[in-house]
Amino acid sequence: MALAFTLVDSWDDGRRVHIAGTVAASGNYTTGGDTLDLTPIEALGVPTTQPPILGTAWMDGLAGYDYVFTPGAALNSGTVKIFQDAGAAGPFAELTAGAYPSAITGDTVTFYGIFPRLQ
């Protein structure tokens, strides 16, 4: 398991469901992005079964890497690309495939997304 989601808070504004959580990295990064499975929110009673609305979910960390989340067709198929300031490789090159660096595995990575409500 490369990326694991933990729910921190959720709320329903009457039209959409808002989700806040953390993401922990372990294992290896895959070029093109790793899958982020958000299905744990279903087991916690969050009233949605659909992925975040496109353009309404983002991730942020403290270790200097950029995390870009792209929703998939289902809760378990979103992807996260990680970018770094790679010096000679140019600004914000994608992290190379291989073991996650300790700066990422030890980072505090937060997630916020807006999801459609169950109808």
- Residue 86: C-alpha distances to residues 83, 93, 108 (Å): 9, 6, 21
Rounded mean pLDDT, 33-59 = 89
- Residue 28: the pLDDT is 96
Q: How far is Cα of residue 118 from the mean position of the Cα atoms in its chain? A: 22
Tokens of 11: 């709320």
Cα 77 from Cα 115, distance rounded (Å): 14
Question: Would the pLDDT of 1 be above 60?
Answer: no
Least confident of 25-29, 72-76, 77-81, 114-118: 114-118
Is the predicted pLDDT of residue 106 greater than 70, yes or no? yes
Place of tokens 């790793």: 34
CB within 8 Å of 11: residues ≥ 6 apart: 17, 18
Q: 103 phi and psi, to 5 degrees?
A: -60, -30
Encoding tokens for residue 115? 């999801």
